[in-house]
Structures are given as structure tokens and as C-alpha cells.
Amino acid sequence: MKNILNAPFVTEMRNTCANMYRLGWDERNGGNISYMLEENEVAEYLDINSSIREIPLGFDATALIGKIFIVTGTGKYFKNVHDDPETNLGIIRIAEDGKTARLLWGYRDGGRFTSELPAHLMSHIARLSVDPENRVVMHSHPTHTLAMNYVHELDEKKFTHTLWEMCTECIVVFPDGVGVLPWMLCGTNEIGEATAEKMKEFRLVLWGMHGIYGAGKTMDETFGLIETVEKAAQIYMLTAHLPRVNTIKDEEMVRLAEFFGVKYRRDFLNL
């Protein structure tokens, strides 16, 4: 079999984690990523029918039985993923009981997947029901997005509208807007269920005073969604205390969305 360290999906995880740490989105062990893989691509590198050990999931993931994911580990620092992927990442397959993960590779030091995995898997289930090509769920703590939580009303329409006003590309990149949750205890099934419910409607979900969840078809798309929100939030934080002289008008946002042919949340505009 081929060397797993050369697998494109391992390379993507290594580089993405390094970029997120470099940008300051994932301090210490903050943040996590899960990436659903195709059986045939994994089978080139691993025996997908054997496992190192089994790890309880903590919830019923029957809808994902047989699915394979590469997932960041609990307590692992994003800055270490690139140089030591086998310790900081793991490849798991959802077992036939739907409540157990079979470890195919990784977590070399005896570790396990992120404590947020139930929230990730619930979000995967929700996104797959909307778009069967969605494969990535990403959670991070982008600095300006988080700062904006403390000075802006946490209302989905108002928060989205403000972000759309900050950069011309925003309504094109995330025309479905940003879902918003209040502060909730992380690492619980409760926050996972709330996030998954939002994921049926949004690809981006803000966790109040905590961070953001993004979902997409590819690592680049998902990273780009969060990156665009963070850029818009940065511009907002740089200008919120200053007199507003210019802005992107709602009528101009409509022109943008219609020119690029995206389905946008018209109810989030003030028309």
C-alpha cells in the first residue's frame, strides 16, 4: 500500500491546520476539523476493514455507518499537526452499531478524536441532507469574528447584513448568511444538536462568544468561507467606532448576487 503520509487528504489536513494556526484562529488546542473521505481513496493507503482500536462516539451516528473521516485529536495543538500528523490526527470509520468509531490510523499516543466530534458528525448529517457533496466541517476561533461578538447584536439577520456590508464579495461567498447561536457549553450533544439544526439552513454557524463552524464541499471552500467572514469582521472592527461615510447599499448587494447567480437570503436585506 501507499504511504499514508503522502495521501492528499493528510496533506490537506496538515497544511490547513498550519494555516489556521498561523492566522491565529486556533490557539493552543482550540478548533477542530473533520473531513469525510471516500472509501476508494483511503483504501489505497489503509486496510479499511481492520482497526487499531474502537472508541465510543458518545451519540448515535447511525446515519453515517461505514463513513470514514480524518479528524483532529482532542487536546492536540494545531501547530503540531504538520510535523507529527500521526499523533495529532486520526482516521476513523463509523462502526456498524453507529455508536462506535473504529480507528484505522493515527492518535499514535493513545489519544482520541476531538471532544467536539458529536457536533461535527451531527453537522455532517445535517449538511448531507441538504447537499450530499458536503464533506468538511471546520471549527475555529477567528480573532476579529470573536471580537465582533462582544460589540454587535447576535442576531442572524443583523450580523449577516453587517458582514455583507463590509466586503463586496461577502454576499457572493456566503449568500445563505450566517446562523447564530447564543453562548452554550461546548463539547456537549446539546450544542451539537443546535448547530446541526442551524446547518440545515446555513453553511456558517456562529457560536456566541466562542467561535464559528463552517461546512463545505472541500477544504478550500470551507476555509474560504471562514476566511471571508473573518476579513469582513476585521474591517468592521477597524471601522465600527468611526463615522460611516460610505457603505454597500442593499440594492447593490442584490445586483451583486443576481450578477453572480447565487441564491441569497433576500429576507436578510432591508428592501
Domains of the chain with bracketed CATH: 1-115 (3.40.225.10), 116-271 (3.40.225.10)
Given a cut of 90, is residue 58 above it in pLDDT? no
Closest CA to 164 of 145, 177, 154, 152: 177
- Does residue 205 carry a pLDDT above 90? yes
The yes-or-no answer on residue 116 being catalytic is yes
Q: Which of 12, 86, 116, 165 is catalytic?
A: 116
Question: Given this model, what pLDDT does residue 187 score?
Answer: 87
| pTM, rounded to two decimals | 0.95
Predicted confidence (pLDDT) per residue in 213-256, tens digit? 999 999 999 999 999 999 999 999 999 999 999 999 999 999 99
Angstrom distance (rounded) from CA 258 to CA 208: 31
Note the pLDDT tens digit of each residue in 68-96.
999 999 999 999 999 999 999 999 999 99
Q: What is the pLDDT of residue 268?
A: 98
Per-residue pLDDT of 157-194, as tens digits, reads 999 999 999 999 999 999 999 999 999 999 899 999 99
Provide the CB-side half-sphere exposure for 69 (13 A, CA): 31
The interaxial angle of helices 219-239 and 156-166, nearest 10 deg, is: 90
Q: Tens of pLDDT along 4-38? A: 999 999 999 999 999 999 999 999 999 999 999 99
Q: What is the model's pLDDT at position 106? A: 97
